Amino acid sequence: MLPNFFVVGVQKAATTSLHNYLIGHPEIYLPESKETKFFVDDLRYSKGIGFYRQTYFSDWKGEKAIGEIDPDIIYFDYAAGRIGKHMDTAKIRLIISLRNPIDRAFSHYLMTHRRGLEPLCFEEAIAIENRRIEKGYKEKMHYSYLTRGFYYQQIERLMTTTGNMEPFIMLSDDLKTNKEGALNAIFEYLDVATGFVPKNPNREYHQARIPRSTRLLNRVISETPEKRLIRFLIPFKGLRHKIRQKLIAMNETEVHKMVLHPDTRKRLVEIYRRDNSRLEQFLHRDLSHWNA
């Protein structure tokens, strides 16, 4: 079995929260790994669709909605085309969560910095971003702070590539201001039962923390022989998910909070103004608060 829905983006816009909220719904199946990167990473894609199906969806037990959450799908322009080679994308439901692109960019920077991958200050990093991301996949993955924020361009390309003219688009703020309403709207879009209340609905995911051991983190979140053995020994998906989240939490530590300089924010408001205006018209939503 392959997915019939994808949460395709955007990065740093509550997709981790969505994964944790949706995975507990009895009619929704998601892989334990939030982001398989199968359609984004050349090496993983080269293993074939059979590898993808067996590795991430072999635990499917008849759930109505089968999905994957990977916020890089909307950004990497070839990912949707790869999905289309194996599935009828016009029939696949697409969910997109958006966030103020300035806040998203700085949050992305903080994540990369805290992982030890970014030695530059934010202003220096965005000044050389275009040169960096032209070097290859890893650079584009880690250092694409500003380019990921042109949402209208990416949504337009995604709709054209997939032939899906009715994606479900929300703002990450919707989960904060009306979590129950936002989740029920998603449930309706996926044609599953509404009214489901996830466990720990008020927990904040991806707070300002860094791993004590990046090696341990990579072992927990990556597909490894140990994880395949654990799936055999512990056949219950919910229990495995709890153990995984507990290990990640035990490996985290808080960090000092960094803030975006006001002058930098003003400059980025102008950079995104045109794309935000087009997005505002497309969504029929007021996004003027993004210019504050």
Cis peptide before 10 (omega within 30 of 0): yes
Give domain status of residue 226, yes or no: no
The four Cα atoms 178, 277, 159, 169 give a dihedral, to 10 degrees, of 0
Give domain status of residue 26, yes or no: yes
Give domain status of residue 234, yes or no: no
Give domain status of residue 85, yes or no: yes
Please state the domain count of the chain. 1
Entry pTM:
0.83
Give domain status of residue 229, yes or no: no
The enclosing domain of 81 has a CATH number of 3.40.50.300
HSE-up of residue 245 (Cα within 13 Å, Cβ side): 18
Give domain status of residue 236, yes or no: no
Judged against a pLDDT cut of 90, whether residue 248 lies above it is answered with no
| pLDDT at residue 234, as a whole number | 76
Tens-digit pLDDT profile for residues 164-199 = 889 999 999 999 999 999 999 999 999 999 999 987
Give domain status of residue 242, yes or no: no
What's the domain range around 115?
5-208+255-291
**In the chain, which ranges are E strands?**
5-9, 28-29, 65-69, 93-98, 168-171, 209-211, 252-254
The pLDDT confidence band at residue 204, using thresholds 50, 70 and 90, is: low
Tens-digit pLDDT profile for residues 90-140 = 899 999 999 999 999 999 999 998 888 899 999 999 999 999 999 999 999
Give domain status of residue 151, yes or no: yes
